[in-house]
Every structure is written in C-alpha cells, then in structure tokens.
C-alpha cells in the first residue's frame, strides 16, 4: 500500500493518485495573445502520459494586464478557451485530471503595460504599479476566468495567491496596509466569489506563500489565519509555497524546505494541504503524506527532468500502475 498512489477525492473529482505537476510558466506564447500553443499540449500532455494524477497548467492570466509577460497564456477570451479544450481533452484521455492556475501578476508583470497593485512601490527592477482603487474588477476577472476554465474542460481550479503576485500583494504587510483581516479580505473575497460561481462540485485549490521569509513580512502563523478564512470561503485544499514578494528573503533552501509550512497549515487550520518545493524522491513524497504534512505533493523541476516520474515512483514503491498502452513494453 502506498499513500502516494491512493486516490484523493476533492468534491466531485477523484485524483487517481496524489502526485501533481506544479504549475510552471512556459513563456511560450509567441503571438502575445495568451492562446496556448502546441508546446502547451506536448508539455502538459507528456506529464499526463507520465502518470501524474493532477496536471496543473501554468499561471494563466485572468486579464491581459495580469500576465507576468506577454508570452504568458490567458483565460479571458473564447479563442483561448477553444485552444485549451484540445489540451484538457488530451490530459483526460490519459487518465489525469486537468487543472489550471488562475493568476494575476499584480506589480510583478513585466510587459509593456502599467501593472496594478495595492501599493505604488515597485518590485525591485520592475515597473512602478498603479494603485488599485477598487478590487471589484479583479474579483470579476477571477470569476470569469474560472467559468471560462470550466468551459475549457479544466476540472480543478487553483487560485494563485503566492509568489508576490497580486493576491499575495494584498495579504502581505510588505505591500499592503491595515490589519491582517483587512489584508486577507481580497484573496478571501476572490475565493468566495469563485466558489459561488462554480458551484459545489468543482474543487478549488488556493496556492499561498506560507511566509515572506523576512522579519517584517508575512508569517507561518498568519498563513493559518488565512487558510482558515479561505476554507470558510470554499477552498478545498491549500497549496503551500513561499516567498516571492521581496528580493530580501533569505530562504533556507533544501529538500522539502516548504513541507513544515504545509504541515502547520494542515494541523492548525484543519484543512487539506499540498506540499511543494524540492520534493524529488518517491520515498520522500510518500513520507510527506505518511507524516500527515500534506494530502497532495506537487513537483515542478523534477517533472521537467522526468515527465515519467510518477511511473518511476510507482516502481520504486512497489505499486503496479498502468503505463500508457503504447509504452507498455518498457514497464
Ligand atoms: C520554470 C518554472 C516556472 C514556474 N512557474 C510557476 C507558476 O506559473 N506558478 C506557480 O505558482 N509557481 C511556478 N513555479 C514554481 C513551481 O511551481 C514550484 O513551486 C517550485 O519550482 C518549487 O518546486 P520544485 O522544487 O519541485 O521545482 C515555477 C517554477 C519553475 C521552475
């Protein structure tokens, strides 16, 4: 028995295992129209073929100025929806669940447009943002993006509220003013509005930065408060990453370095979590789940090195899984 290869139920969706491809920007849109390309089909499709239970498409902008770069994908128009359909269909044909990360870059956008943020303080080296006077348009953009994502065939939504992008900028004291309740209000409102719009069947994950890694920044304890509020707003799982909102952070990088953040959120906020960050070995991933630190593990760079990581992990853990029919002779 392996926990890693035990299905995970999230609302109406059953992930066939607890391995997710962590969202990774591919900066591969050449026409600057936010429409995913053949690269996205092959990149995400390969990882579905490789056996991941959940394949989460990269940070996908809910409005044009919410892209990190002009090479990013989007989910704000019908042309994008049509292009995503081919990709989600392929992922599903190979037994994986297609997920999408709904994103807004905030002040970390570096295209030739004016970025928006809760502050006019730029991220070092990037353009000066315009201060958002109202967040209503942002909530609306996330809701419309969520509905378009479902139309495009995605079965799991992840709201990107980490890494110094817009929703993180709202809750971090480095980029916003007010009490913690005031600062978490917008990410919580976005989550509640997305939940209300998509109904009770669709799993909604929220990725947060569990700490800013600086003394005057966001902390692990703050993350517990945020996670409780996100859960109450309808989030099903909190994907706990860290950092990204300051260039000053000193991050203690090493194997599983963010796992304790996921564990604290899971235990103290009583909400399922995802663990991410230098999880590269099958036994290590299994142990994260066995320890009760998380319910799902997300792998990013290791999945770039080896799209078949889940098939290899199954072999290492002595679990029999079905390789794609076309590749059966190799497994
Ligand atoms: C090429 C690349 C692109 C990334 N793009 C995103 C992204 O779009 N959204 C996000 O939340 N994290 C992004 N990340 C962070 C990863 O999802 C992951 O959290 C991080 O790489 C740590 O996991 P790892 O040690 O398994 O790589 C990206 C990482 C890489 C390497």
308 is catalytic: no
pLDDT, tens digit (0-9, with 9 covering 90-100), for 233-256: 999 999 999 999 999 999 999 999
Q: Look at ligand 1, atom 14, and give the residue with the nearest C-alpha.
A: 24
| Distance between Cα 22 and ligand 1 center (Å) | 6
From residue 261, how far is each of 16, 240, 265 by CA, in Å? 25, 7, 6
Q: Is the residue at 1 inside a domain?
A: no
* d(C-alpha 261, C-alpha 69), whole Å: 29
* d(C-alpha 328, C-alpha 331), whole Å: 6
Q: Around Cβ 60, how many Cβ atoms within 10 Å?
A: 31
Nearest Cα to 154, choosing from 206, 214, 83, 229? 83
Q: In the chain, how long is the greatest CA-to-CA distance?
A: 60
| Distance between Cα 329 and ligand 1 center (Å) | 32
User: Rounded to the nearest 10 degrees, how much is the dihedral formed by the CA atoms of 194, 61, 256, 323?
Assistant: 90
Give the position, in ligand 1's atom list, of the atom nearest the Cα of 162: 11
Q: Is the residue at 126 inside a domain?
A: yes
Q: Look at ligand 1, atom 7, and give the residue with the nearest C-alpha.
A: 24
| Distance between Cα 25 and ligand 1 center (Å) | 7
Q: Look at ligand 1, atom 13, and give the residue with the nearest C-alpha.
A: 24
Average pLDDT by consecutive 10-residue portion of the chain (331 residues)? 97 98 98 98 98 98 98 98 98 98 98 97 97 97 99 99 98 98 98 98 98 98 98 99 97 97 98 98 98 98 98 96 88 77
- The alpha carbon of 156 is separated from its chain's Cα centroid by a whole number of angstroms, namely 10
Q: Which domain holds residue 306?
A: 8-330
Q: How many domains does the chain have?
A: 1
The single residue listed with the structure tokens 């963010």 is: 258
For the chain, give the mean pLDDT.
98
Nearest Cα to 58, choosing from 31, 97, 27? 27
| Percent helix, percent strand, percent coil in the chain, to nearest 5 | 40, 15, 45
Q: Is the residue at 108 inside a domain?
A: yes
CATH of the domain at 197: 3.20.20.70
pLDDT, tens digit (0-9, with 9 covering 90-100), for 159-174: 999 999 999 999 999 9
Give the residues across from 99 on adjacent strands: 56, 156
């Amino acid at each position: 028995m392996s926990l890693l290869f035990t299905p995970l139920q999230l609302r109406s969706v059953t992930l066939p295992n607890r391995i997710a491809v962590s969202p990774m920007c591919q900066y591969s849109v050449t026409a600057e129209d936010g429409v995913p390309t053949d690269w996205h089909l092959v990149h995400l499709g390969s990882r579905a073929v490789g056996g991941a239970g959940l394949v989460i498409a990269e940070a996908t902008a809910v409005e044009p100025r919410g892209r990190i770069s002009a090479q990013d994908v989007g989910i704000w128009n019908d042309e994008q929806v049509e292009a995503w359909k081919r990709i989600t269909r392929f992922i599903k044909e190979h037994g994986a669940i297609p997920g999408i990360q709904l994103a807004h870059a905030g002040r970390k956008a570096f295209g030739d447009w004016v970025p928006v943020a809760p502050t006019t303080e730029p991220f070092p080296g990037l353009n000066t943002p315009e201060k958002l006077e109202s967040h209503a348009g942002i909530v609306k953009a996330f809701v419309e993006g969520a509905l378009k994502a479902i139309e495009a065939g995605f079965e799991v939504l992840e709201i990107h509220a980490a890494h110094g992008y817009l929703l993180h900028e709202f809750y971090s004291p480095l980029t916003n003013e007010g009490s913690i309740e005031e600062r978490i209000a917008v990410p919580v409102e976005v989550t509640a509005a997305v939940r209300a719009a998509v109904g009770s069947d669709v799993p909604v994950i929220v990725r947060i930065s569990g700490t800013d890694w600086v003394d005057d920044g966001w902390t692990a304890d703050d993350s517990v408060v945020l996670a409780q509020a996100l859960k109450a707003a309808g989030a099903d799982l909190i994907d706990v990453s860290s950092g990204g909102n300051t260039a000053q952070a000193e991050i203690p990088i090493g194997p599983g370095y963010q796992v304790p953040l996921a564990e604290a959120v899971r235990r103290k906020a009583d909400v399922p979590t995802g663990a991410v960050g230098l999880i590269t070995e099958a036994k290590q991933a299994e142990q994260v789940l066995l320890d009760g630190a998380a319910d799902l593990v997300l792998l990013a760079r290791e999945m770039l090195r080896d799209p078949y990581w889940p098939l290899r992990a199954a072999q290492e853990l002595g679990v029999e899984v079905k390789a794609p029919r076309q590749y059966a002779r190799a497994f």
